[in-house]
Amino acid sequence: MELTVVELFAGVGGFRVGLNDIKSFDENDKAIENRNWKFVWANQFEPSTKAQPAYNCYCTRFGKEHTSNIDIQEEVAHLDEDADYIPNHSLLVGGFPCQDYSVARSLSGEKGIEGKKGVLFWSIAKILHVKKPPFVLLENVDRLLKSPSKQRGRDFGIMLRTFNDEGYDVEWRVINAAEYGARQRRRRTFIFAWRKDTKYAEVLSDMKIEDIIAKEGLFARQFPINLIDTPIRTYDVTSYEDTVEMTEKFHANFENTGCMVNGQVVTFKTEPQFKKPIPLKDTLLHNVDKKFYLNDKQKEKFEYMKGSKRITRTNAAGFTYNFSEGKIAYPENIDLPSRTMLTSEGTVNRSSHVVADLDTGEKRIITPVEAERLQHFPDNWTNTGMTDRQRYFMMGNALVTFIINTLEPRLEEIIKAE
């Protein structure tokens, strides 16, 4: 089987960078792809803005052919009339929008799968229904497994049921990139699904689900784990009439590791076989432009925002409560991998990284290139006409390409064996 890919919610091309082991681009600004994954279609559209810097970056690095800059919900609607509107492919990938599940949102503000961007999962489901790609690899925030807060696990349970109804089995793992040797402490949920009629499914059919999770699955092979003494939880997503009933009744305690075969779900907590991460000091540049240095006013603001505090607040209903938060290292401890990078990176914000410059010792924010390095993109990947602010946003929204790069050898084996 050919290594053909459709990339949804493509951003600036993180899945493609990882799968094709891209480390640089040529004098024409085109990515130098070192592996043989052929991307036959990619969609990137940001509905909240007229400018489309992510899509423009993708086209700069890969060319405009086989790309789409139209709302994915409009695009998949074409499949009702023309099943070939989206090309056939062996692997569907995407970091589907996570705003509705993100820990950056307050509990009172989350909307889960019914949110404005949460419904975009159904665009993935439509492609599964019509195109039936043999394999799927998705990424989302770790909070996905527990969404929404008032009915834990409902959203992910509905996703699992949808995969089962469309003829797929599923494995998932929450991976902290730094625990396997990357530059950033970034926890994300990775979901691998395979069609039940594949040779891969046949190979796994004689195994216990626990053995798929611990030994033979995609994630166990590439990101080894240690089993710990923890409860094994089981669920049957087929015991509900449909996803409507699940919306009303389903809840589950999904752990960081799990697998579903024929609707039967097994999940339990595991620990990584730890690999030494890359410290922040190995990411930082020398001879950094002074524009990234903090002025006195910014230093004062960061000092306060990154310090510990306890504040009495009153909510909209008039209820008084105490808000507290702990101290964040200021400047960062550069002997550790970086903290999780958010889309607000580079702004005067509690979550932004402030480092002591390697040459001068002066406090400064990280540069766009350093932000790219934290996600394991090539240097200046987003230097395609974007502002610095846009470049930080793109990296805060991206995935750690190191994860995809590490999964790739086994993915290639699986797909070529079909």
Residues with catalytic roles: 98
3-state secondary structure of 307: coil
335 close to 358: Cβ distance less than 8 angstroms: no
Listed in sequence order, the residues at least 6 apart from 363 whose beta carbon sits closer than 8 Å to its beta carbon are 293, 294, 299, 302, 331, 354, 355, 356, 357
Report angle CA 336, 342, 343 to the nearest 5 degrees: 145
Name the CA radius of gyration of the chain, rounded.
22
The whole-angstrom separation of Cα 356 and Cα 354 is 7
The whole-angstrom separation of Cα 66 and Cα 44 is 11
Phi-psi region of 145 (alpha: psi -120 to 50; beta: other; left: phi over 0): alpha
The whole-angstrom separation of Cα 196 and Cα 53 is 38
SS3 content of the chain, % helix, strand, coil (to 5): 35, 20, 45
For residue 312, with 0-12 CB atoms within 10 Å meaning exposed, 13-18 middle and 19 or more buried, which class applies? exposed
338 close to 365: Cβ distance less than 8 angstroms: no
Distances (CA, A) of 243 to 73, 264, 322: 20, 15, 39
The strand order across the sheet containing 91-94 reads 67-68, 38-43, 4-8, 91-94, 135-141, 187-195, 168-176, 257-261, 264-268, 233-236
DSSP state of 180: B
